[in-house]
Amino acid sequence: MIKKGKFITFEGGEGVGKSTQVKILADKLSEAGIDVILTREPGGAPGAEEIRNLLVKGCTDKFSPMTEALLHNAARAEHLQKTIKPALDSGKWVLCDRYADSTIAYQGHGQGVDMKTLLGLHRLATGDFWPDLTIILDGNELDRATAREEESFDKEDRYERMGENFHNKLRKSFLEIANNNSERCKVVCAAGTIENVAKRIWEVVGV
């Protein structure tokens, strides 16, 4: 019988270093003999990637918050059924750059969608499926995000351009999510070198 894999998600605000750390962890797990796949949200499956293009590019105000929440959950349903669950069932570990906590932080705390509504959408889209472990990178996301190149509506920077107040809400919301889900969520300080952050994450994963 194949042992089910482990589902680990990375969360945090824009520019905090999630994508880099996901790749580093994947390499370390592979070196330890663990079969691992990398994926992301929104996206991670063909249909979900099409929805991603709608969400991460263009004007910051092109959707209402509820429309954004619906689109994220629609993409997540595709991602879960086409990529995440099949990988887990085959014994692979799945490392995902963002998942449902981002929807709670961005569309809930950041854009004001009612939390009960968001949790209901999550149950509907995923059957209330949550990760085994969520690593929340906490750092000065706003400085890193705004230090990037000038905006372009063809770049995946739509959320980065949503303003200082929005970004400040995100950091607080991820810490609140971690506090409310302490068994699943572990906060890792994103300050310091890439190597130092990777070491902190490795200690949390505990392989």
pLDDT, one tens digit for every residue, the chain (207 residues): 678 899 999 999 888 899 999 999 999 999 999 999 999 999 999 999 999 999 988 888 899 999 999 999 999 999 999 999 999 999 999 999 999 999 999 999 989 999 999 999 999 999 999 999 999 999 865 554 444 444 444 577 777 777 777 778 888 999 999 999 999 999 999 999 999 999 999 999 987
Q: Among all chains, which residue has been given the structure tokens 């509820």?
A: 66
Tokens of 72: 């994220």
Q: What is the pTM of this model?
A: 0.91
What residues are paired with 94 via a beta bridge? 7, 37
Listed by start position, the domains of the chain span 7-205
Class of domain 7-205: alpha beta
Pair 125, 23: CB distance under 8 Å: no
